[in-house]
């Protein structure tokens, strides 16, 4: 059995600037979704944060937003069932919480307008040759 040879890559690796990562608890993750001040339904919360937060503890997270972060949360109900939530004072909560640090982290920005491949700075590839073939089609019919 032949051994495979490992060859080091000669291409230079681009290092991303180091940024301090901020770990958020469940309540703060919920806050990142509610910071817009718009109505957020339970279904939206489940699709956006279903893997990251425990859905059966949403009332606990809302209580923490009200007491620890001084947030005003409006609960929207249909009968007795809670359907959606809305944060009424997102600007006040941003100034207090750790979520502010997450919102200020640098993000990768895409170019505003790309009309040609050259605008992206991508290397050009070899042009593909077109291959034409004459195909014969034979029809097979079966007698019934």
The total domain count for the chain is 1
- Judge whether residue 4 has pLDDT over 80: no
pLDDT digits (tens, 9 = 90+) for 81-115: 999 999 998 888 776 666 666 565 555 455 456 66
Q: How much is the average pLDDT of 22-47? A: 86
- Judge whether residue 80 has pLDDT over 70: yes
CATH assignment at residue 45? 1.10.10.10
Q: What does the block give as tokens for 132?
A: 């034409």
Considering the domain boundaries, does residue 21 fall inside one? no
Considering the domain boundaries, does residue 5 fall inside one? no
Q: pTM for the complete prediction?
A: 0.53
pLDDT confidence tier of residue 20, bands split at 50, 70 and 90: low
- Sheet strands side by side (includes 40-41): 40-41, 81-87, 73-78
């Amino acid at each position: 059995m032949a051994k495979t040879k490992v060859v080091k890559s000669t291409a230079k690796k681009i290092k991303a600037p180091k940024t301090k990562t901020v770990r958020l608890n469940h309540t703060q993750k919920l806050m990142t979704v509610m910071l817009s001040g718009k109505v957020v339904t339970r279904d939206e919360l489940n699709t956006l944060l279903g893997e990251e937060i425990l859905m059966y503890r949403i009332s606990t997270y809302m209580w923490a937003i009200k007491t620890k972060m001084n947030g005003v949360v409006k609960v929207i109900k249909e009968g007795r069932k809670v359907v959606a939530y809305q944060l009424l004072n997102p600007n006040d909560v941003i100034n207090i919480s750790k979520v502010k640090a997450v919102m200020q982290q640098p993000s990768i920005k895409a170019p505003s307008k790309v009309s040609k491949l050259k605008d992206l700075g991508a290397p050009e590839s070899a042009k593909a040759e077109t291959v034409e073939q004459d195909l014969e089609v034979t029809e097979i019919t079966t007698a019934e």
